[in-house]
Structure 1
Amino acid sequence: MPDEARPDRSGLLVSLNFAREPQNCFEGVSINVRLLAGSAAIENGLAAKVLDSVCDQLVPVWFSDGSKKMLMHPDNEVAQHVLSGTPAPEYIEGEVRAWRDLYGLFTPGEQAR
């Protein structure tokens, strides 16, 4: 992370999160980016810059503005196929398979297989 992303400079807190009882496979192990109170990181574009820098691996990334928590990576279409187990269209099939391979253990029903 760049020095400008330090919480005291950016108004963002970036952390690695481990959930004991995840609600879905994207919550077990993830990167969380939280907007701190009074931060201008959304308005000045720093939040987008930080999110772009952490959304390039097969690690789920969540963003919270204090009132809601949003999954930023993988994108919504990929996440829906991973969570539902439905076949993915060809153009995202490889990405969906990669997420399932890594995080399938955390998907309901996968542990029983």
Structure 2
Amino acid sequence: MDTNGLDGLDYLDTSGDEIEIGAIVRHRDMEKSPALRAKFPTLSIAAEKIAGLVVRNRGTLDGSAGEADPGGNCPSVLVAVDGEIELMSTDHIRTIGATDYFSADMQGSIKANELIRCVRFLKKPFPS
């Protein structure tokens, strides 16, 4: 499914207690975001390690999480910091923890009528 034409999914919000990243934010945008690098460098660094520049310029967070590949950088960070994924359909929005989302069969806990709307991370996921 191509989500590129959907409005409102291309944003990166670091203003609150959590970092929220819209589903169609490109890996390159996460890599180069000064706000993300300052507030959650782990994700910014993970994004810069994804494949090559062509993939980072086209690849999105929802594609990475939707693929549910345990070797993927963004899914690994999501699980490591107990992030959450917000899923939406035409009739509901639900939030699921990353650990629960990425099931053992590597399919992800997404239903046929849902798509990823955003992911969230705590700004300080690790105790100081």
TM range (shorter): under 0.3
Higher relative contact order, structure no. (Cα contacts within 8 Å, ≥ 6 residues apart): 2
Name the larger-Rg structure.
1
